[in-house]
Amino acid sequence: MEFDDQSLERFRLRLRFKVRHHLGPFCPDNDDIVQETLTRCVIALRDNKIHKLESLGAFLSGVCNNVILEYQRRLWRQAPAEQAPTPSVAPEADLLELREAVADALKQLSGRDCEVLRAFFLQEKDKDEICRSLGLSDNQFRVTLFRAKERFRKIYLQGVKHSASGEH
């Protein structure tokens, strides 16, 4: 299936509305996000990855959601340093305690969970690179990352509670 000019423009307008709703009308990258969404859709159509053509609108919406989330994550990672909170009295000590707490929590995770979190957050590797190195599909990576973050959060918060109460 190919897009004709009329349907392509109709999808572009709907996507532009959706992106502006989520990111605001003054975001300089709105058109780029719409274009990336349409590009991914055309590639999926070309590779016959869309099984129900009558669900093309829902597919486009889902792809658009993913592109918006990727864009927001990229912005969050590239946040300017001037927005960082003011340092506490002893930033070196706080940083050392934080590193130790993170290292302790990572030790308690399974090998794959630890590898995924370390590669994605600490080493800031690309998702595709991590998938290739661990032999994961895109869906497996997303599920693994989500579950690993949840496990890490539980372990980390338990460690913080024990530290605050003076237990070791």
Residue 117 burial class via C-beta count within 10 angstroms: exposed 0-12, middle 13-18, buried 19 and up: buried
29 Rama class: left (phi>0) / alpha (psi -120 to 50) / beta = alpha
pTM, two decimals, is 0.46
Q: What's the chain's average pLDDT?
A: 83
pLDDT on residue 3: 66
d(CA 30, CA 36): 10
pLDDT on residue 91: 67
Q: What is the pLDDT of residues 114-146, one digit of tens each?
A: 888 888 888 888 888 888 988 988 888 888 888
CATH number corresponding to 90-165: 1.10.10.10
**Single-letter amino acid code for the residue at 157:** L
Which position has the token pair 């946040």?
Answer: 79
How many CB atoms within 10 Å of residue 68?
20
Domain boundaries in the chain? 5-81, 90-165
Please list the helix, strand and coil fractions of the chain in percent, rounded to the nearest 5, in that order: 75, 0, 25
